[in-house]
Amino acid sequence: MFQTPPFSDLDDKLLELDSGLLLGSVNRDSRLSIFKGIPFAAPPVGNLRWAPPAPIAKWQGIRRAKEYGASCIQTPPEKGSFYQKEFLPTPHVYSEDCLYLNVWAPEAKVNEELPVLVWFYPGGFVWGSGSDDSIDGTALAAKGVVVVTINYRVGVLGFMTHPELTQESPNRTSGNYGLLDQIAALEWVQRNIGQFGGDKNNVTISGLSAGAISTHILSASPRAKGLFHKIIAQSGSVFAMKGHATLENNEAAGIEYANRLGASSIHQLRKLSPQALMAKPYKAWPVVDGWLLPESVSKVYEKGLQMDVPMLIGGTSEEAATLPLDVMNLSTFELWAEHSFGGYAQEYLKLHPAKTDRQAWEHFVSTKTESIHWAMRKWAYQQIMSGSKPIYLYSFNKTPPGELSAQHGAYHMGDLVYAFNNLDTVDRPWAKEDRELAELMSTAWVNFAKTGNPNGGNLPFWPAYQSKDGVIMVFDRKTEAKVDKLNKALHQLFDKEFAINHGYLRL
């Protein structure tokens, strides 16, 4: 547990991890201890580039943990773009040496072990950071949970596969390094979280978008067994991932990527600077590699082999509303439909006829939005069919106030600062109803992390999801449990496409 050394001031906390002594900060007002920039694995540089995370070497003396570590090398959203302005206004330092995590811990009572919430960030597996302002853990920790945010490798450095990497691996696999980072962080939690007052036997993994997809994958991975006990997933499921790539297919992509850089070997690639690597695009997605993920997530669930734990999942009502107008027009709409729905394209086009560029864009956006809704419900359905633990489904329908609110509605990631009760990290004219909703939603998230059930406090009763009645919790100006509103005809098309593609959509 925490120790206060006689030579420190009252704002310091010293504790001992398995890797050495760590000095963090104490917020006197909130009585929260905060430790930032804690290494959980060795820097993934040199020969450790494109390798599973290696153990961190023990350090001598006392390591300062009052500032965030560097974020992982990435291609962040374009400056001035919506998501850059909304969530990433504070510049980050980027480095390959980035495997750090951060902890916010309330003061625990004697012999008390607090629940733990571990967060995986969004960003499409190409950007993101565990030190974004929007996911500061102060507000959640003040409600009685230990909050852990982590960095994991993204982009080509986090997910490239290549035959040489597969050959050098003792597990005959490559790629998925970002997921292995997440597992390494969870293993760190198992070894060390007790020092912060946390309960290693009550760990909830949580995330949004790519972070939510990560939780879905880890629920199907034997490598993550025993490392977590509950899941919170916001707007992300493997089933809407655009593809469930195999190792063999992605190895070909790795060869093609190396050729574009003029590199004939992994040795040459490891000598290139991160900037040179990021200069060429690489589709960064997790793969079915035969080891971390032996088979598709869908097959794992169909066999009932997933981690059978309580789950809280859902998304926003206008997931894709921030897509710009130029992503789709009438001339490309039918081609997109044929690519996405194959033999069912004409059936889709009959349901969604377009005569103008605006109609084509609106159908494209609504279909993208509905694909995420469908994917979360498919996940819930599979858990109901093969699991025994409850799953709670929600929809976030509240439009944040301010610029473009009428256009974007309850957009993808719009629920993030409500769930973390961090409204003031985003520059919007928040009203009393927003603050009340953030308080309500964050309390439900904390309740779930504590007990596996979100109910309690001022929250209207939230029943576990059952597909036969379809009742979900709707967070809005008036939060209440309602029968789910679905585009049934479109969901039926998604089901057909899902069956043909063996566990994913091509959207």
Q: Could you list the active site residues? A: 209, 319, 408
Q: Which two tokens stand for residue 147?
A: 């909050």
Q: In DSSP terms, which residues pair with 233 in a beta bridge?
A: 207, 313
Question: Rounded to 5 degrees, what are φ and ψ at 292?
Answer: -65, -40
Distance CA 140, CA 16 (A): 24
Report the interhelical angle of 330-341 vs 357-386 (nearest 10°).
Answer: 20
3-state helix, strand, coil in the chain (%, to 5): 40, 20, 45
- Radius of gyration, CA atoms only, the chain: 22
Q: In DSSP terms, which residues pair with 393 in a beta bridge?
A: 313
CA of 123: how far to CAs of 77, 106, 219, 325, 341, in Å? 9, 29, 20, 21, 26
Q: In DSSP terms, which residues pair with 100 in a beta bridge?
A: 39
354 and 365 Cβ atoms separated by less than 8 Å: no
> Integer distance in angstroms from the first to the last C-alpha of the chain?
49
Q: Would you call 483 exposed, middle or buried from its count of C-beta atoms within 10 A (0-12, 13-18, 19+)?
A: exposed
CA of 403: how far to CAs of 82, 86, 399, 426, in Å? 11, 11, 11, 12
228 and 318 Cβ atoms separated by less than 8 Å: no
**Residues contacting 195, CB < 8 A, separation 6+:** 1, 2, 15, 16, 17
Contacts by 258-266, CB closer than 8 A, 24 or more apart = 258/162, 265/164, 266/50, 266/162, 266/164, 266/165, 266/168
**Residues contacting 483, CB < 8 A, separation 6+:** 469, 470, 471, 472
Any idea how long the chain is?
A: 507
215 and 286 Cβ atoms separated by less than 8 Å: no
Q: Which two tokens stand for residue 289?
A: 């590699």
Question: Rounded to 5 degrees, what are φ and ψ at 327?
Answer: -80, -15
141 and 59 Cβ atoms separated by less than 8 Å: no
Q: What is the largest CA-CA distance in the chain?
A: 75
Strands 62-64, 480-483: pairing is: unpaired
Q: Would you call 25 exposed, middle or buried from its count of C-beta atoms within 10 A (0-12, 13-18, 19+)?
A: middle
Number of Cβ within 10 Å of residue 319's Cβ equals: 28
Question: Rounded to 5 degrees, what are φ and ψ at 480?
Answer: -160, 160
